[in-house]
Amino acid sequence: NAGVTQTPKFQVLKTGQSMTLQCAQDMNHNSMYWYRQDPGMGLRLIYYSASEGTTDKGEVPNGYNVSRLNKREFSLRLESAAPSQTSVYFCASSERGDNRDFSSGANVLTFGAGSRLTVL
């Protein structure tokens, strides 16, 4: 059981280049998320997908686009990379994101291993 798999693990880009971070989960989860982590800070939500076919902005969406390709896969695209996008990116999933039965744990996040992106 692989859980949440992200690729690539490391990437160096030049300013203005584009790239896509891939994320796949094999837990049949409905909700998927992209976070970024910067030094000395917690994680900040970029985009999320509450269920297949839907996506929505998080706290820091500028400069990014996402695609929920199917239930398993959620990709993050940088169309024109900027040095401010240098960060570690984490994909996560949860069984649900809207579970009102708060004793069930269906909202628990499982994270991928992270992708370290450097923009020069």
Partner 1 sequence: GIQVEQSPPDLILQEGANSTLRCNFSDSVNNLQWFHQNPWGQLINLFYIPSGTKQNGRLSATTVATERYSLLYISSSQTTDSGVYFCAVALYTGTASKLTFGTGTRLQVTL
Q: By CB under 8 A, name the binding residues for partner 1.
A: 31, 35, 40-45, 48, 50, 54, 56, 58-59, 88, 90, 92, 94, 97-100, 102, 105, 107-111, 113-114
How many Å separate Cα 95 from the centre of its chain? Answer: 15
Q: Looking at beta carbons only, is 54 or 70 nearer to partner 1?
A: 54
Q: Looking at beta carbons only, is 26 or 98 nearer to partner 1?
A: 98
The least CB distance from residue 40 to partner 1, in Å, is 7
Q: Looking at beta carbons only, is 7 or 17 nearer to partner 1?
A: 7
The least CB distance from residue 1 to partner 1, in Å, is 15
Compute the distance between CA of residue 60 and CA of residue 47 in angstroms, rounded to an integer.
8
Beta strand 10-13 with 31-37 is unpaired
Q: Residue 28 to residues 3, 9, 70, 82, 92: CA-CA distances in angstroms?
A: 10, 23, 11, 34, 13
The least CB distance from residue 119 to partner 1, in Å, is 19
Q: How many CB atoms lie within 10 A of CB 71?
A: 16
The least CB distance from residue 79 to partner 1, in Å, is 23
**CB of 23 within 8 A of CB of 9?**
no
Q: Looking at beta carbons only, is 48 or 64 nearer to partner 1?
A: 48
